[in-house]
Amino acid sequence: MNRRPAIGLVTLLALLVGGGIAAHGGHGRAGHLPTLVLTAAMRSVARPDRAPGTPGTGSIVPERAELQGRQLVQRLADGRRVVFTLDPVLQQQANALLRDYEVPYGAIVMYELQTGALLVLAGRSQRDPRLGSRELCLTPWAPAASVYKLITASALLSRGVSADAPVCYHGGLRELQLDNLRNQPRLDRTCHSLADAVAHSINPVVAKLAARYLDRAALIDWSARFGFNRPIPFELAVTPSSAEIPDTELELARTAAGFWHTAISPLHGAVIAGVAASGGLLRWPHLLRDGGTGTTSVAAGTVDEGAEATATAALPRVLDLRVAARLTAMMTRTTTQGSGRRGFIGRGGRPYLPTLPVAGKTGSLARRDPQLDYSWFVGFAPADRPEVAFAVLLANPPAWRIKASTAARLLLERYVSRRRSRG
């Protein structure tokens, strides 16, 4: 594998903001992400973090945690003992995946849907070893790409748009132009539904439906519902995800389909996937089981079952149950028939995880300078009775060694073995 000079997170973000991005493997015009992403990320990286509700001075760094019994624990400089929710086996597996495949930049996040406890928070860079989980998991250093289709699909379904009605189109798979948004019966000879478009990541279908049924105000509203452009509650500093919704028809349609204008952190990517898994509820994960005061952290809340039920009832509802179920069905097709199939279905059509159906959404785009291919996979499992939500983001050179969907499946294989060992 060719090695290239290391570039730090701030440099990477600067290039992301100012450089060209070819969405979904195409060679469209340069996309520009908001400068807010860069400035906020720089503040996030530089800011020391403390356990919530405590006056201590020690910095919480998951990479410095040590295994004590079955828990990962960090002793801070001021003497406090911080206990993480992280699963030691799954955390080790995630770090090993990023290390063994020599991923230039990568992040993996997984959390329990019922409790919000983070099981995995792994970030690693082959090019710049100084970057860790705080920089690569909690900062929106890559565009959301087709992951944003989940927000658009949610808005369309909630407005009564059919998931199964055919939408006919021509072109627009790699680069969208105004002509691709117009109905032209003589040219529109390929037809797919919204359900197809989410599962197979078909850009022109999502773009045409967004241009027809959504406007800027709607996308701003739905972005906010899913947590964009607002603070993210967490024990460590998290740079807010960014959605700059344009007011022109073409750019709005491009944004809705996942071309430019949006950026998310891997932590937020897992949460976006978790909305459908939770029946339409939005839950932010937590990292600390004990924040150093002898009690559970503020973000973690109490482990009492009655309080847990109360906390769940208080979670904001993003989608109604019907829309959440429809979105789940689309995401499940992603791994059985769609753009994530190769990561989960082997030769001869045999699933790698026969006992664990997985729902997910892929996202991909290519950067020209520096040349990097971004690969997203966000999802949850089991698809029929969800337990965990997760996100994988990898930035590879053109000669990549692993894609995000495969990395997610390898982690889920270990998750399945953990379930079995616990009975």
Domain of 94, CATH number, reads 3.40.710.10
| Lookup: tokens for 120 | 């995995």
CB 260 within 8 A of CB 311: no
Cα(first)–Cα(last) distance of the chain, in Å? 41
* Crossing angle (nearest 10°) for helices 149-158 and 203-213: 40
Report yes or no on 64 lying in a domain: yes
Report yes or no on 67 lying in a domain: yes
Residue 419 has a pLDDT of 84
pLDDT tens digit sequence for 255-292: 999 998 999 999 999 999 999 999 999 999 999 996 55
DSSP 3-state of 420: helix
Report yes or no on 2 lying in a domain: no
Q: Which amino acid is at 308?
A: E
CB 81 within 8 A of CB 292: yes
Q: Tell me the backbone φ, ψ of residue 23, rounded to 5 degrees.
A: -75, 140
Cα separation values, 105 from 12, 16, 127, Å: 10, 13, 7
pLDDT tens digit sequence for 200-228: 999 999 999 999 999 999 999 999 999 99
Q: How many residues does the chain have?
A: 423
Contacts of 160 (CB under 8 A, 6+ apart): none
Q: Tell me the backbone φ, ψ of residue 168, rounded to 5 degrees.
A: -95, 145
Q: Can you say whether residue 280 is alpha, beta or left, with left for phi > 0 and alpha for psi between -120 and 50 degrees?
A: left
CB 134 within 8 A of CB 45: yes
* Positive/negative CA dihedral, 122, 123, 125, 130: negative
Residue 147 above 80 pLDDT?
yes
Report yes or no on 34 lying in a domain: yes
Average pLDDT over residues 113-123: 97
For residue 345, the cross-strand partners are 351
Can you tell me the distance from the alpha carbon of 390 to that of 269, in angstroms, rounded to the nearest whole number?
A: 8
- pLDDT above 70: percentage of residues in the chain: 80
pLDDT tens digit sequence for 15-40: 444 444 444 433 333 333 333 333 33
| Lookup: tokens for 55 | 């006056």
Q: Which of residues 311 and 155 earns the better pLDDT score?
A: 155
DSSP at 99: H
Contacts of 225 (CB under 8 A, 6+ apart): 282, 316, 318
In which band, very low, low, confident or very high, does the pLDDT at 422 lie, cut at 50, 70 and 90? confident
Residue 302 above 80 pLDDT?
no
Report yes or no on 382 lying in a domain: no
Among the residue ranges 47-56, 99-108, 123-132, 270-279, the one predicted with the least confidence is: 47-56
Report yes or no on 239 lying in a domain: yes
Q: Which domain holds residue 111?
A: 9-14+29-373+389-421
For residue 167, the cross-strand partners are 192
DSSP at 113: T
Considering only CA atoms, which of 340, 342, 278, 354 is closest in space to residue 315?
Answer: 278
Tell me how far the alpha carbon of residue 264 is from its chain's centroid: 7
Residue 370 has a pLDDT of 74
Total structural domains in the chain? 1
Residue 149 host element (H or E): helix 149-158
Residue 46 above 80 pLDDT?
no
Report yes or no on 283 lying in a domain: yes
Report yes or no on 156 lying in a domain: yes
